[in-house]
Amino acid sequence: MPEVRIKAVFLDFDGTVYSHVTEGIPGSTIEAIRKLKEKGILVFLCSGRALPEMDDFDISELDPDGMILTNGLMAVDREKQIIYDLPCEGKLKERLIRIFNEKKIPVYFSTLDQMFINFVSDIVHHVQDAVSSGIPPVKEYEGETFYMASAFIDNEESYHEMMSLKDIAEITYWHEGAVDIVPKGISKPHGIDRVLKKYSIPLEASLAIGDGENDADMLRHCAIGIAMGNSCKEAKEAADYVTEDIDANGIWLALKHYEII
Question: What's the pLDDT tens digit per position in 112-128?
Answer: 999 999 999 999 999 99
175 with 231, same domain? no
65 with 109, same domain? no
191 with 179, same domain? no
105 with 139, same domain? yes
Structural domains counted in the chain:
2
Residues 37, 43, 45: CA angle, nearest 5 degrees: 145
Q: Is residue 247 part of a domain?
A: yes
Reported as a single tens digit per residue, the pLDDT across 59-87 is 999 999 999 999 999 999 999 999 999 99
Q: Is residue 130 part of a domain?
A: yes
pLDDT bin (cut points 50, 70, 90) of residue 2 is very low
Hey, what's the torsion of the CAs at 145, 189, 48, 208, to 10 degrees? Answer: -150
Q: Is residue 3 part of a domain?
A: no
pLDDT of residue 39: 96
Reported as a single tens digit per residue, the pLDDT across 199-219 is 999 999 999 999 999 999 999
> What is the C-alpha to C-alpha distance for residues 137 and 135, in angstroms, rounded to an integer?
6
81 with 96, same domain? no
Reported as a single tens digit per residue, the pLDDT across 124-155 is 999 999 988 899 999 999 999 999 999 999 99
Residue 55 has pLDDT above 90, yes or no: no
176 with 153, same domain? yes
CB 34 within 8 Å of CB 55: no
Residues in the chain: 261
Q: Is residue 61 part of a domain?
A: yes
Instruction: Output phi, psi for 183, to 5 deg.
Output: -60, 150
Q: Is residue 2 part of a domain?
A: no
Q: In terms of DSSP bridges, do strands 82-85 and 66-69 run parallel, antiparallel, or are they unpaired?
A: unpaired
233 in helix, strand or coil? helix
21 in helix, strand or coil? coil
107 with 163, same domain? yes
Q: Is residue 60 part of a domain?
A: yes
Angle between helices 27-38 and 250-257 (to 10 degrees): 40
pLDDT of residue 94: 97
164 with 191, same domain? no
> What is the C-alpha to C-alpha distance for residues 156 and 136, in angstroms, rounded to an integer?
24
Element (H, E) at 25: none
Indicate the residue among 168, 183, 198 that finishes a domain.
Answer: 183
CATH number of the domain encompassing residue 130: 3.30.1240.10
163 with 203, same domain? no
CB 146 within 8 Å of CB 88: yes
Q: Which domain holds residue 110?
A: 90-183
CB 51 within 8 Å of CB 73: no
> What is the C-alpha to C-alpha distance for residues 19 and 248, in angstroms, rounded to an integer?
11
Q: Is residue 41 part of a domain?
A: yes
Indicate the residue among 143, 162, 183 that finishes a domain.
Answer: 183
Q: Is residue 1 part of a domain?
A: no
107 with 230, same domain? no
Chain-centre distance for alpha carbon 196: 17
Contacting residues for 223 by C-beta, under 8 A, at least 6 apart: 4, 6, 203, 204, 205, 206, 207
Q: What is the mean pLDDT of residues 170-199?
A: 93
140 with 94, same domain? yes
